């Protein structure tokens, strides 16, 4: 199939969005992720804009080995020289010259005639070619330009050696069918030139992705996008949406990209963390709801065969299936979540918990894992489970960690002392002696769920029980306390499950 070139302009056009400025070190992290994403070109910035931008582009050019690195410049000696100095060490450098094309820009922005613009365009490309063989030329606002004059400019710059013509719908003016007609017109008019045709769309009317896809259908060879669709005003075409549309409907478009789609979610998470923002929940491909299902009918269908309600696999974009538990959920989704949490319940127990779940779901907007675990606990006798009564730990750099743990079960208390590599391990070993069985620790994670010196810590413990993973969670301001609670939660699940078998 035809291979579509993907140029990411997150760090140039995307950064121009209010509140989306990035530090040089942030840009280096994003560039590394874009390279893992395997975009063909990274537009690293606008070097002449500031010393920081210049240094960031220069560092990215030196760091990047697989993707090409582009730098934007206006059609002036200073801009072109600065941009070239920033990217000259890249494995595949590209100079990107931007110059207006519409009469409204000529009159009110540049204040020059058409003849002067044509002369400036030719001179700029000729000067840039002295430094770099890969030149991209963007006729800004060309979708509102006089077509006769536009083609006069494009033919002239192609003759001077431009390798990519980037059609820019700068103000998001075109509609999808107009985009098809426009791209075909330019493509047919440039038949005599060996040049790549690119499309750069803005989202002012909410059709940036649609217009980009229409451009591909009409014969464009390259698309310009940003991660998450960030950019001036309403943003640019979202890279993840364009790429996944081309992949999911490859039979329709007859083309493909080289993007490693499993990195799409990671790229978005990184970017939105850098700009201190949240990915909108309803954002296509990467939003929290993109692969979420709450309706029982949908959940049952997805559990039977994901294709019933999903045209993409969440794993293909670095996501996981998300069955949201709420009042619209069915027993199939509840049963799967219980199994994922480590419970193996019979039909009678599942029915009882399902009935209690419906009552709770009518009162609560969304159901958490802790809610589900409370429902399970309510169905069984608390005589069967252990609770933390107290503990004492002693550890340091000059002695072996020791833990004394006291647990309560029913009306009795049990106490044991053990040693371990750390206070937490020693406490776990003491718990094992009390319950008279050892459960191999599979995974242990810690995260802060609040701020400050007295922040709550959530511990997630995974233990193995007969080859199956059982998860326990504990919450406390003290890490050891939270760890013991999490370990006990996992053990209690196993005890509750085996008591029903």
Span 307-312, mean pLDDT?
Answer: 61
Edge-to-edge strand order for the sheet containing 387-396?
A: 387-396, 399-409, 412-420
At residue 311, does pLDDT exceed 80? no
Provide the pairing of β-strand 135-140 with 68-74: unpaired
What is the rounded CA–CA span in Å between residue 350 and residue 370? 17
Confidence of residue 359 (pLDDT cuts 50, 70, 90): confident
**Comparison of pLDDT for 454 and 444, the residue scoring more:** 444
Copy the structure tokens of residue 252: 């329709």
Q: Looking at residue 422, what DSSP letter applies?
A: S
Confidence of residue 449 (pLDDT cuts 50, 70, 90): low
Q: Looking at residue 109, what DSSP letter applies?
A: I
* Predicted pLDDT at 299: 44
Please give the helix or strand (H or E) that residue 465 lies within, else none.
Answer: strand 457-465
- φ, ψ for residue 41, nearest 5 deg: -135, 140
The answer to whether 474 and 485 are in contact (CB under 8 A) is yes
Cα 287 to its chain centre, rounded Å, is 8
- Give which of 197, 204, 192 is closest to 220, Cα–Cα: 197
**Comparison of pLDDT for 71 and 341, the residue scoring more:** 71
What is the rounded CA–CA span in Å between residue 473 and residue 215? 50
At residue 429, does pLDDT exceed 50? yes
So where are the chain's domains? Answer: 2-274, 292-378, 382-499
Segments of 397-497 assigned E as strands: 399-409, 412-420, 441-448, 457-465, 468-476
Copy the structure tokens of residue 238: 């979202």
What is the rounded CA–CA span in Å between residue 439 and residue 253? 53
Confidence of residue 295 (pLDDT cuts 50, 70, 90): very low
**Comparison of pLDDT for 373 and 105, the residue scoring more:** 105
The four Cα atoms 339, 343, 348, 350 give a dihedral, to 10 degrees, of -50
Neighbours of 463 (CB within 10 A): 24
Span 414-440, mean pLDDT?
Answer: 94
% of the chain exceeding 70 in pLDDT: 84
What is the rounded CA–CA span in Å between residue 357 and residue 333? 12
Q: Looking at residue 392, what DSSP letter applies?
A: E
At residue 76, does pLDDT exceed 80? yes
Confidence of residue 309 (pLDDT cuts 50, 70, 90): very low
Close Cβ partners of 445 (under 8 Å, ≥ 6 residues apart): 459, 460
* Predicted pLDDT at 298: 46
- 183 strand-pairing partners: none
What is the rounded CA–CA span in Å between residue 323 and residue 333? 7
- Give which of 19, 24, 17, 69 is closest to 44, Cα–Cα: 69
Confidence of residue 4 (pLDDT cuts 50, 70, 90): very high
The percent of the chain in helix, strand and coil, each rounded to the nearest 5, is 45, 25, 30
For 400-416, b where at least 16 C-beta lie within 10 A, e where not — what string?
ebbbbbebebeeeebeb
The answer to whether 169 and 201 are in contact (CB under 8 A) is yes
Mean predicted lDDT score pLDDT of the chain: 87
* Predicted pLDDT at 431: 96
At residue 300, does pLDDT exceed 50? no
Close Cβ partners of 422 (under 8 Å, ≥ 6 residues apart): 395, 401
Q: Which residue has the tokens 């409907």?
A: 249
Confidence of residue 392 (pLDDT cuts 50, 70, 90): very high
Cα 16 to its chain centre, rounded Å, is 20
The answer to whether 73 and 57 are in contact (CB under 8 A) is no
The answer to whether 294 and 288 are in contact (CB under 8 A) is no
Copy the structure tokens of residue 384: 């069967």
At residue 102, does pLDDT exceed 80? yes
At residue 249, does pLDDT exceed 60? yes
* Predicted pLDDT at 303: 45
**Comparison of pLDDT for 292 and 140, the residue scoring more:** 140
Q: What is the pLDDT of residues 35-69, one digit of tens each?
A: 999 999 999 999 999 999 999 999 999 999 999 99
For 331-343, b where at least 16 C-beta lie within 10 A, e where not — what string?
bbbbbbbbeebbb
- φ, ψ for residue 153, nearest 5 deg: -65, -45
- 322 strand-pairing partners: 292
* Predicted pLDDT at 325: 60
* Predicted pLDDT at 294: 47
At residue 95, does pLDDT exceed 90? yes
Copy the structure tokens of residue 243: 């790429």
Span 269-290, mean pLDDT?
Answer: 86
- 85 strand-pairing partners: none
For 382-499, which CATH class? Answer: alpha beta
Which conformational region is residue 120 in: left (phi greater than 0), alpha (psi within -120 to 50 degrees), or beta? alpha
What is the rounded CA–CA span in Å between residue 12 and residue 87? 14
For 2-274, which CATH class? Answer: alpha beta
Angle at alpha carbon of residue 26, lines to 24 and 32, rounded to 5°: 105
Q: Looking at residue 106, what DSSP letter applies?
A: I
């Amino acid at each position: 199939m035809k291979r579509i070139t993907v140029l990411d302009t997150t760090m140039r056009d995307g950064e121009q969005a209010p509140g989306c400025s990035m530090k040089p070190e942030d840009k280096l992290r994003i560039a590394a992720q874009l390279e893992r994403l395997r975009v063909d070109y990274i537009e690293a910035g606008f070097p002449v804009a500031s010393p920081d931008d210049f240094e960031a582009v220069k560092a990215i050019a030196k760091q990047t080995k697989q993707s090409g690195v582009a730098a934007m410049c206006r059609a002036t000696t200073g801009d072109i020289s600065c941009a070239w100095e920033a990217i000259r060490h890249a494995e595949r450098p590209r100079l990107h010259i931007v110059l207006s094309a519409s009469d409204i820009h000529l009159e009110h922005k540049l204040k020059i005639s058409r003849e002067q613009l044509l002369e400036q365009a030719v001179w700029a490309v000729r000067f840039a070619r002295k430094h770099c063989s890969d030149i991209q030329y963007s006729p800004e606002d060309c979708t509102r330009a006089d077509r006769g004059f536009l083609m006069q400019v494009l033919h002239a710059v192609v003759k001077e050696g431009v390798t990519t013509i980037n059609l820019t719908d700068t103000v998001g003016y075109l509609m999808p069918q107009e985009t098809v007609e426009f791209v075909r017109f330019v493509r047919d008019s440039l038949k005599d030139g060996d040049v790549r045709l690119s499309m750069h769309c803005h989202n002012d009317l909410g059709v940036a992705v649609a217009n980009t896809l229409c451009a591909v259908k009409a014969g464009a060879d390259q698309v310009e996008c940003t991660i998450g669709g960030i950019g001036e005003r309403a943003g640019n075409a979202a890279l993840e949406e364009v790429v996944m549309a081309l992949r999911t409907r490859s039979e329709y478009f007859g083309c493909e990209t080289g993007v490693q789609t499993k990195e799409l979610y990671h790229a978005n998470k990184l970017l939105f963390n850098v700009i201190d923002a949240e990915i909108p929940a309803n954002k296509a491909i990467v939003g929290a709801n993109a692969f979420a299902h709450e309706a029982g009918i949908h959940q049952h269908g997805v559990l039977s065969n994901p294709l019933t309600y999903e045209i993409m696999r969440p794993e293909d974009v670095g996501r996981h299936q998300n069955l949201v538990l709420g009042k619209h959920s069915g027993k199939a989704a509840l049963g799967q979540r219980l199994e994922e949490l480590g419970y193996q319940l019979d039909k009678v127990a599942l029915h009882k918990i399902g009935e209690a779940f419906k009552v709770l779901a009518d009162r609560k907007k969304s159901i958490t894992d802790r809610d589900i675990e409370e429902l399970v606990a309510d169905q069984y006798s608390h005589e069967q489970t252990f609770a933390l009564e107290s503990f004492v730990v002693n550890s340091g750099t000059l002695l072996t960690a020791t833990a004394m743990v006291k647990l309560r079960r029913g009306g009795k208390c049990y106490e044991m002392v053990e040693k371990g590599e750390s206070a937490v391990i020693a406490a776990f070993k003491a718990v094992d002696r009390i319950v008279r069985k050892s459960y191999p620790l599979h995974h242990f994670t810690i995260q802060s769920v609040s701020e400050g010196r007295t922040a709550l810590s959530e511990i997630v413990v995974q233990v193995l029980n007969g080859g199956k993973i059982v998860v326990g969670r504990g919450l406390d301001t003290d890490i050891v306390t939270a760890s013991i609670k999490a370990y006990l939660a996992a053990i209690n699940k196993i005890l509750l499950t085996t008591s029903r078998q």
